[in-house]
Structures are given as C-alpha cells and as structure tokens.
Structure 1
C-alpha cells in the first residue's frame, strides 16, 4: 500500500474487512478475505513474491474461491482492497461485492496503466484507472499477444524493480499508482481501449530526493559501462 495515509475516515466503531492483505495486513482491519490458492507458488506470486507470511495477530481470515464473498449484505462498515482489483478476472463483479458487503465505504488502490506497461506483471489481468470526470472505475483487459512482444524488456525492468531501482516510481507515485477513499458506490465499466486514459506528471524531478541522488552520482561517477 503506497498511500496508507489516505485511509482517514474509519471510525472507532467501524468493522473493517481487508481483502488480499498480502504480507502486510492493515492494523485497523478486523477480518480478512483471502483467495484460496491451491498452488503455493501461485500464492507467493500473487503476494508479490514476498516470502514473509502475513501476521494477522489472531484476527479471523476467511478464504474463498472467487465470485460472491462469504458475507451478508453490509456485514462490514468499511472495506480495504489494496492492489487486488487488477488481479481479478471480473473487476466489475469484484467491486459489486465490495460495495455489497461494505455498504459502499472503503479504500481502493491499484497500479495505473503506465506501471503495467513498464513491468507487465503476469498476475495483473487488467489495466485499471479511476476517472474523476465521470466518477467511474475503468478497466481494460490486457492484450497478451501485444505485450508478449516486449517480454524481454519488461522482464529486465521487473528485475530492476526487485533490486531497488524504483526512484522513478517513488518520486512520481500519482502517475503510477492510484489510491482513494470512497463513501458511496461508483460505476465500474470495461473500456474498449486505453484511448480514454488520461494522466499527467505531477513532480518536476527537482525534489530533495532527486537532488541528493544527483549529488551522489556527481561525487561517484561511473567509470565503466556495462554495454562496452
């Protein structure tokens, strides 16, 4: 979760469900919903290859096989779904269940199309973005044959991410990741293409973190190049 500070409206009396908490369950969640993976390797991949087991601190964990959540209508007051919707084969049905069991309140976070084009994670099935103009969550199913042509490049970029070369992402989070609270249900719609997607860079690249990196690079210039 990149924007944990945006979860700001949970009341002390709220019963909170977190879906797909990965390796870092939210401290305010009362219960959790996890997809039941039969293959431990697949479960690890879906968790971002983080081998650390999540610490639920005795809180109840429910498992399901997709589709309808195993809860009654409005069983919870708030639902957290961070980096889950892009994994689902049916984002519209998934969000309908989020709204049903949570009464329309919660927090949603997901990677945006630029992130997917850089890294093309196989476990992510759709491009997703929320458009303020029409208050709609849009999704486009990934066109596998097209992206497969860039598999060697995206594999290199993913390896760089694993090694910590993530300053481009960290310095421009709003361009690559979207996260927001909601208090009422909103529309969810499959888009025919990415033509309707609009986003812009927000940080100029001259912030403190970037300036420090440049100073270090100036003090310790590279004497060799890997492509020589």
Structure 2
C-alpha cells in the first residue's frame, strides 16, 4: 500500500501483511468458484437398445439333408420279405415295399409259368413279412394221399404215415410243411404262435397266424385239428 494510506490508517506492517494474505486468499477462492461454476457442455446419454435388438441374432443351424437315394431294400422299415415258390419263372426270396400284394410278389418272381392254375391264390391279398407263396399247389392235401397209401394193402410207408388231420398242438415243422400252401416259414409261424399262446384251443385261431389269409384258412381247416 502507499505510505500515505498506511500512515492515515495507522496500520502496522505486520497487520498489513496479514490483510494482504487474506485478500489474496479471497481472490483465489473467488477465481476458483467462478471457474467451477461456468457452464459446461454435457454429452447426451447413449440410447439403450432393447435386449432383443442389442443381442446379435444367432444364425439358424443348417438342417441335415435327408438322403433320398437309399434303395428300399436296405431301409429298416417299409419292406416285406417273402418267399415265392412253386411254378414261377424266378422262385426265391423277394423284397417288396410294405403294403404290396400277392400279385406284386408274382410279378417280382417273373410271373407264373404257362399253364399254371393260380385260382387258389388270392392275388389281391396284402403280403405279410416272412410268408411263403406257393404257386401251382394242388388243392388235394398230400396228407390224405399218404393216408390212402397207408390203408391200402402193400402201400409203402403204411406204418409211418398220418391217418387223419394234423394236430396243431403236436405237429412238427416237417409235418406242417406237408399241408398245401404251407412252407417251412409259415410252418414256423404256426409253431411260434402255439408257443406264445400255450397252444391252439380251436382251428379258428389259425386266422391269427401271420401269413394265413381267408382262402388259405379255408384250404387248411379240414386238414387240421387243435
């Protein structure tokens, strides 16, 4: 301060120094308050997207291509296996689509031979897996012929031939195989049914055996008994 101010106010140098320090501190405080109170630019808050939009969409998993060139003969289902025997051009095992009929099996075997009588076959019947189709079998049962030979004098094998209807509960596969239209496969089906159900209680149960249709049952009914 000017000397005249000091003399007029009667301030001592020590008091004057303290006052100067206070003024400087006040000036610093005022400058800080002004600096911190000035307007500042504020950034707008970021807009939050919904979770469904923010999360990246997962790419769809590729679906495995279904093979279409697999032959029906190697598929585990949808196939029936039948044995076509008798008077056909190509006898043997035939694999056909499920739901095929007897006429389809005959066509797969090359058809019947010329002059073969197929009136005993129901060509419209749906095939069952594992059955045997005999083409050209005679309607007369070989059992009856064997019985006639046994009753005639000097007939061969008279002691070992059956003399009446075959018992479904006691016959073997070989004995059932002698029936018309019954091969080894169908004979085994009859044995399997007998084992599962504890025997046949009536001849009508033959209808429930796999591979025996109405026409075949009609042919077998007079030749068998429980």
Q: Which has the higher contact order (CA 8 A, sep 6+)?
A: 1
Query: Shorter-chain TM-score: what band?
Result: under 0.3
User: Could you tell me the TM-score, scaled by structure 2's length?
Assistant: 0.21
User: Could you tell me the TM-score, scaled by structure 1's length?
Assistant: 0.21
Indicate the structure (1 or 2) with the bigger Cα radius of gyration.
Answer: 2
Give the structure with the larger strand fraction. 1
Give the structure with the larger helix fraction. 2
